[in-house]
Amino acid sequence: MFERLDQLEARYEELSLQLSDPKIVNDQENFRRVAKQHRDMEPTVEKFREYRKLRSAIADAQTMLADSDPGLREMAQAELDDLRPRLAACEEELKVLLLPKDPNDEKNIVLELRAGTGGDEASLFVAEVFRMYLRFAEQHKWRVEILSQTESDVGGLKDVTAIIEGEKVYSQMKYESGVHRVQRVPATETQGRVHTSAITVAVLPEAEEVDIKIEPKDLRIDTFCSSGPGGQSVNTTYSAVRITHLPTNTVVSCQDEKSQIKNREKAMRVLRSRLYEVEMERQHQALAAERKQQVGTGDRSEKIRTYNFPQNRVTDHRIGLTNHQLGMVMEGMLQPTIDALIAHDTAERLKAQSAAV
């Protein structure tokens, strides 16, 4: 581990020099790339330097223990009692910092919610969970752009697709993929019986053109009149776009914008992300054993969470976490749950790394 840290620090110093090189400063694309590498390494290098300072201070205190002055020895022992736990904690933090990073953590996401079992009640829950994510996004100052949505007859949403942009969106939201189950008495229930409904949530890291290459010959693009709210352009102009990726039969549509060009751009963003997810899934299957140890990229068919309204309870089934503040969770207070999922995922990866050594 410490050999890796020495190499990392040497590379960090090399990048620091590059950031003051006029040739790199004048090449904006190269400068951004170097600056990002430097910024990503900084927390680990700073923690390693803190570790070395603690080791040095402990060595000095141990030397003082051999002094003939009892007062000095007592002071040295007190210092050791303070420094040793800090050194152990620092070493554990370094182990976490050295874990392989998810390359998608920095990416924006495409968020898709769909009603599952439960009919109208499921569509109402789609609308409520989407609102929950909007509140969570507000807390992080992320930008949300709705690409498409289908409303139900009771005021819910049969499905909704949105792009969320901001700092490290995927690193937080990737834990939301899967089946979300709701248990409550529907408004239409006359006898007060609790019903169970379900919706699916998909969180796709937004793929860039360099991540996934799409050949124009593999696309069929259809245009049609948009429907729903939108003013005079609704049902009069062919602004809505449907793109079919022929090799995989993946279909994406967008009608949010009045401009056909803008709808096409948005649809392509979703298509790239869906095809990227297919490629990620293929890679994950090759690493199935590793994937079982993680909670970050759960199967979309897996039941991950239950929202029980009569008992004011939210349970995340992956880590057995129960929260009795359902109202606050539905208002977007998801961070405690996500923090617990991150901590569990990190602990499992550390355990796997220790077993492999």
Query: Could you tell me if 258 and 330 lie in one domain?
Result: no
> How many domains is the chain partitioned into structurally?
3
Residues 267, 239: one domain? yes
**155: how many CB neighbours lie within 10 A of its CB?**
10
168 lies in some domain: yes
Could you say which of 236, 265, 284 is where a domain stops?
Answer: 284
In the predicted structure, residue 327 carries a pLDDT above the cut 60:
yes
Q: pLDDT per residue over 201-218, tens digit each?
A: 989 888 776 667 788 888
Could you give the CA distance from residue 18 to residue 32 in angstroms, rounded to a whole number? 11
The answer on pLDDT for 298 being more than 60 is no
State the pLDDT at residue 278.
79
- Tell me the residue range of the domain where 126 lies: 109-210+294-356
SS (H, E, C) the chain: CHHHHHHHHHHHHHHHHHCCCHHHHCCHHHHHHHHHHHHHHHHHHHHHHHHHHHHHHHHHHHHHCCCCCHHHHHHHHHHHHHHHHHHHHHHHHHHHHCCCCCCCCCCCEEEEEEECCCCHHHHHHHHHHHHHHHHHHHHHCCEEEEEEEEECCCCCEEEEEEEEECCCHHHHHHHHCEEEEEEECCCCCCCCCCEEEEEEEEEEECCCCCCCCCCHHHEEEEEECCCCCCHHHCCCCCCEEEEEECCCCEEEEECCCCCHHHHHHHHHHHHHHHHHHHHHHHHHHHCHHHHHCCCCCCCCCCEEEEEECCCCEEEECCCCEEECCHHHHHCCCCHHHHHHHHHHHHHHHHHHHHHHC
Burial of 339 from C-beta contacts in 10 A (0-12 / 13-18 / 19+)? exposed
CA nearest neighbour of 149 among 302, 299, 266: 266
Pairing of strands 240-245, 195-205: unpaired
| Pairing label, strands 178-184, 303-308 | parallel
Query: Residue 27 — very low, low, confident or very high, per pLDDT cuts 50/70/90?
Result: confident
Dist. CA 36–CA 28, nearest whole Å:
12
- pLDDT tens-digit readout, 61-87: 999 888 888 888 899 999 999 999 999
Q: By the 8 A CB rule, do 339 and 316 touch?
A: no
Q: Are residues 118 and 202 in the same domain?
A: yes
pLDDT band, residue 291 (cuts 50/70/90)? very low
Please identify which residue in the block is written with the tokens 């900084």.
42
The answer to whether residues 115 and 186 belong to one domain is yes
Q: Work out the number of other CB atoms within 10 angstroms of the CB of residue 108.
A: 25
Same domain flag for 193 and 126: yes
193 in the same domain as 315: yes
pLDDT digits (tens, 9 = 90+) for 237-286: 667 888 888 888 888 888 766 677 888 888 888 888 888 887 777 766 65
| 186 and 120 together in one domain | yes
340 and 197 in one domain?
A: yes
Average predicted confidence (pLDDT) for the chain: 84
